[in-house]
């Protein structure tokens, strides 16, 4: 029987098969334009990632970190040239998050587009190909799905939807690293989910995208954004101040406690920055393509920064087993730690550096290294020897000299006598 004469009654099973494969075919294509006509709902973001995971099964891995107050899944993806589902030793992870304030949704659309763009251009664009070959991109488009649901399109300066469903500002809900107030916070489900997830992953560089202004905390980003860097000033109509070169020191702009950025930097050892991407918190979607085009070069330049500085593994010199160690760049206030597998990363500008490595039961290691514009990224694999420092003398490294700190009055008195004898000898 010809197909055109196959009615529903006569060819029931045939049409069932046609409809089945039609649905499978439709699921293999994106449901909506990743950016442009409208904002995606929370479930649509997850659906979009699911579709991309089917199209690029070897480059994209979808995951969930937990649930919101109203039981919505907080979805994320990992993107890399291969094995995106796992961390690979010495392959740095870069993390982009957005929508921690539910009424600032521009970032979630930009990140959805970034993931799509990276996958579509892998193997075509040299920079994208390098980044996916050498790094792993982690993206969580919304940290506050409940807040987004009650936000209002076109509300540029309001607060409706800013908090989670329990009324907590999630960007004030992380551990208070400065201890200036009571640290007994009531951590929210979204906060607990993120902390439990990120503590298992060595994130080297991270960015949290906000809205309501137009400013970044890093020249590497703002210099690649024409609006941020134009005329050395960046401003939005209702801003009380302008930002020279499109950047600001966050603490000087306004200080907060319990922020995601401070938590990532001080407790997770990640170089963490905040981006205010749009003047309006929840602008009409027609402007999203413009924002994307303005920010794409900066996003890629920022991503590239994860391939600067140092990385390496600390090992036992005798057994080659990895060591958990504490590291410090001389002249810097905050140190950092290796992972349980001995891995470490640190983003640094070109210059001369001294790295001090300490671990219990091992002699400290000191490594001098140089970074240049031509060689901005080096691998330092450090071997440590079992042993202790001298009982009475500890070596203290400063940014100028190597000094001696005495831990008992006997050793100090002995050294004074020796120095006196040497001075007397030279004077004669």
- Considering the segment(s) 34-307 as one domain, its CATH architecture is 3-Layer(aba) Sandwich (3.40)
Spans of the chain below 70 pLDDT: 1-36, 178-185, 214-255, 389-428
Judge contact between 322 and 315, C-beta under 8 A.
Answer: yes
Domain with CATH 3.40.630.10 in the chain: 34-307
Domain 309-388, CATH class in plain words = mainly beta
pLDDT at position 418, please? 45
Place of tokens 């800013």: 162
For 82-135, the pLDDT digits (tens) are 999 999 999 999 999 999 999 999 999 999 999 999 999 999 999 999 999 999
Residues 369-427: tens digit of each pLDDT = 999 999 999 999 999 999 876 443 344 443 333 333 333 444 445 445 545 554 554 45
Q: Specify the pTM.
A: 0.79
From CA 34, how far away is CA 116, in angstroms rounded?
A: 7
Q: Please give the pLDDT value at position 212.
A: 80
Phi, psi of 354 (to 5 degrees): -125, 125
Report pLDDT for 15: 52
Instruction: Dig out the tokens for 369 from the structure.
Output: 């290294």
Closest of 47, 16, 172 to residue 100, by C-alpha: 172
Q: Please count the other Cβ atoms lying within 10 Å of the Cβ belonging to residue 124.
A: 8
CA within 13 Å, CB half, 67: 4
**Known catalytic residue at 134:** no
Q: CATH 2.60.40.1120 spans which residues of the chain? A: 309-388
Angle at 390 between CA 388 and CA 396, to 5 degrees: 95
DSSP structure class, residue 83? -
Q: Determine which one of 276, 294, 324, 390 is catalytic.
A: 276
Where is 256: in which H helix or E strand? none
């Amino acid at each position: 029987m010809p197909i055109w004469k196959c009615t529903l009654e006569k060819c029931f099973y045939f049409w069932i098969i046609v409809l089945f494969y039609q649905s499978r075919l439709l699921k293999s294509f994106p449901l909506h334009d990743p950016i442009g006509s409208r904002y995606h709902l929370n479930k649509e973001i997850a659906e979009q990632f699911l579709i991309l995971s089917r199209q690029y099964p070897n480059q994209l891995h979808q995951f969930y970190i937990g649930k919101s107050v109203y039981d919505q899944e907080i979805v994320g993806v990992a993107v890399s040239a291969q094995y995106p589902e796992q961390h690979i030793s010495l392959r740095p992870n870069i993390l982009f998050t957005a929508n921690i304030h539910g009424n600032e949704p521009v970032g979630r659309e930009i990140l959805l587009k970034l993931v799509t763009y990276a996958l579509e251009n892998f193997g075509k664009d040299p920079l994208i190909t390098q980044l996916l070959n050498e790094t792993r991109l982690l993206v969580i488009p919304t940290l506050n799905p409940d807040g987004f649901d009650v936000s209002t399109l076109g509300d540029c300066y309001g607060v409706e939807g800013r908090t989670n469903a329990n009324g907590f500002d999630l960007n004030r809900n992380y551990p208070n690293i400065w201890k200036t107030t009571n640290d007994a916070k009531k951590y929210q489900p979204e906060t607990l989910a993120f902390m439990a997830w990120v503590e298992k992953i060595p994130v080297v560089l991270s960015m949290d995208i906000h809205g309501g202004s137009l400013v970044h905390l890093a020249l590497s980003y703002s210099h690649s954004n024409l609006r941020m860097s134009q005329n050395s000033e960046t401003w939005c109509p209702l801003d009380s101040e302008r930002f020279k070169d499109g950047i600001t020191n966050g603490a000087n702009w306004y200080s907060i406690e319990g922020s995601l950025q401070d938590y990532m930097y001080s407790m997770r050892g990640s170089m963490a920055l905040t981006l205010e991407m749009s003047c309006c918190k929840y602008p009409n979607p027609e402007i999203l393509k413009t924002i994307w085009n303005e920010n794409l070069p900066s996003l890629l330049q920022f991503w590239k920064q994860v391939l600067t500085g140092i990385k390496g593994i600390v090992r036992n010199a005798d057994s080659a087993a990895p060591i958990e160690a504490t590291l410090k760049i001389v002249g810097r206030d905050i140190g950092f730690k290796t992972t349980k597998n001995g891995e470490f990363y640190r983003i640094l500008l070109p210059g001369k550096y001294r790295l001090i490595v300490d671990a219990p039961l091992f002699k400290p290691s000191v490594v001098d290294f140089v970074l240049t514009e031509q060689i901005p990224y080096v691998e330092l694999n450090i071997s440590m020897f079992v042993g202790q420092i001298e009982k009475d003398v500890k070596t203290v490294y400063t940014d100028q000299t190597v000094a001696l700190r005495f831990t008992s009055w006997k050793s100090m008195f002995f050294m004074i006598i020796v120095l006196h004898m040497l001075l007397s000898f030279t004077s004669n």
